[in-house]
């Protein structure tokens, strides 16, 4: 791996622990104004000291995030779809590599919809992005999107999607936690991070998800709603960090969460 690529990845995956906490605030690219993310800069600002990186779109980066931030950026470069559009999988590259470099980002992110109506378009899009990114030492994060079909989140489907992302050249893959997640990890030759998905009933559920994913081999989390939709988002991000970087148990993370909440 080239020096530039390695160096960028070292900003995203903490070399001391081999793990990563990323804050995902890119949801608006197809969902518009999501609850609690109406003002992304205000919600993300206090959380940023606790993350290795933030994942977002160029519009939110330019308009809502202070350029003096030391926190690396994972830039979402796929889009062109919306929650009310024809089909969520109709997504393609919408940001150039030149723009990603101008914004000084540490990685670019692209969604693939394996089994979706526009599967081919997204897989070729990922391959084209990798071809271009490789020239500049820019890591590519593939996101195994499931669209509205959350039921697709089983180990068989996710290992298929993650493996295809790796085979097409992505350096990292973001996927969902599922039963038998260890199998998804086993068949992926690249590091995996998990999304949190829609807000779970309790913070404890989200802590458990992060803990189990890490125990089964994820290198970290790229979480959004289960952090910033919590009434105690600051306590939540620190509890998640405790799990990811300190190998804390669910009980230890919960204890930290409760003490910070107070
Ligand atoms: C949307 C994304 C989100 O970044 C991802 O889903 C993470 O956020 P959450 O934890 O809220 O699911 O990639 O396609």
What pLDDT digit, counting tens, does each position of 164-173 carry? 999 999 999 9
Cα-based distances in Å from 174 to 103, 108, 198 = 22, 12, 15
174 is catalytic: yes
CB 181 within 8 A of CB 216: yes
Q: How far is the CA of 30 from the centre of ligand 1 (A)?
A: 11
Structure tokens at 139: 């890591």
For the chain, percent of residues with pLDDT exceeding 70: 100
**pLDDT at 123 (0 to 100):** 98
Residue count of the chain: 262
- Catalytic residue of the set 11, 152, 174, 199: 174
Q: Give the pLDDT confidence score for residue 183 in this predicted structure.
A: 97
The answer to whether the beta carbons of residues 74 and 108 sit under 8 Å apart is yes
Q: Is the CB of 145 under 6 A from ligand 1?
A: yes
Quick count: other Cβ atoms within 10 Å of Cβ 173?
A: 25
| 81 contacts 122 by C-beta, under 8 angstroms | no
Taking only the tens place, the pLDDT of each residue in 94-134 is 999 999 999 999 999 999 999 999 999 999 999 999 999 99
* pLDDT bracket for residue 149 (50, 70, 90): confident
Q: Please report the atom of ligand 1 found closest to the CA of residue 223.
A: 10
Mean pLDDT over residues 205-229, rounded?
98
Whether the per-residue pLDDT at 77 is higher than 90: the answer is yes
Q: What is the pLDDT of residue 114?
A: 96
10-65 pLDDT per residue, tens: 999 999 999 999 999 999 999 999 999 999 999 999 999 999 999 999 999 999 99
pLDDT of residue 241: 98
Task: Answer whether 125 contacts ligand 1 (Cβ < 6 A).
Answer: no
* Domains of the chain (ranges, CATH numbers): 3-196 (3.20.20.70)
| Average pLDDT of the segment spanning 156-161 | 96
**For helices 233-246 and 250-261, angle between their N-to-C axes, nearest 10 degrees:** 150
Nearest ligand 1 atom to the CA of 145 is 14
Summarize the confidence of residues 184-188 as an average pLDDT.
Answer: 97
On whether the CB atoms of residues 230 and 201 are closer than 8 A, the answer is no
Closest CA relative to residue 125, chosen from 81, 77, 190 = 77
pLDDT computed for residue 248 by the predictor? 98
Give the chain's mean pLDDT: 96
Tell me how far apart the alpha carbons of residues 156 and 38 are, in angstroms, rounded to a whole number: 35
């Amino acid at each position: 791996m080239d020096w530039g690529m390695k160096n960028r990845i070292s900003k995203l995956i903490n070399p001391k622990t081999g793990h990563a906490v990323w804050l995902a605030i890119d949801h608006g690219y197809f969902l518009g104004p999501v609850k609690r993310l109406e003002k992304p800069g205000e919600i993300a600002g206090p959380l940023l000291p606790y993350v290795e990186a933030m994942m977002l779109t160029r519009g939110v980066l330019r308009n809502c995030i202070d350029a003096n931030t030391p926190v690396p950026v994972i830039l979402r470069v796929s889009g062109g779809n919306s929650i009310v559009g024809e089909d969520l999988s109709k997504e393609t590259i919408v940001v150039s590599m030149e723009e990603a470099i101008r914004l000084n980002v540490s990685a670019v992110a692209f969604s693939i919809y394996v089994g979706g109506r526009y599967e081919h378009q997204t897989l070729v899009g990922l391959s084209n992005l990798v071809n271009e990114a490789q020239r500049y030492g820019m890591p590519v994060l593939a996101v195994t999107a499931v669209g509205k079909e959350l039921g697709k989140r089983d180990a068989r489907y996710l290992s298929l999607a993650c493996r295809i992302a790796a085979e097409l050249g992505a350096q990292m893959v973001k996927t969902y936690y599922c039963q038998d997640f260890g199998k998804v990890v086993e068949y992926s030759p690249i590091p995996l991070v998990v999304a949190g998905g829609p807000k779970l009933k309790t913070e404890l559920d989200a802590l458990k998800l992060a803990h189990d994913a890490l125990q089964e081999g994820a290198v970290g989390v790229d979480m959004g709603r289960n952090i910033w939709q919590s009434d105690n988002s600051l306590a939540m991000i620190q509890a998640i960090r405790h799990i990811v970087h300190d190998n804390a148990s669910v009980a230890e993370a919960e204890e930290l969460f409760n003490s910070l909440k107070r």
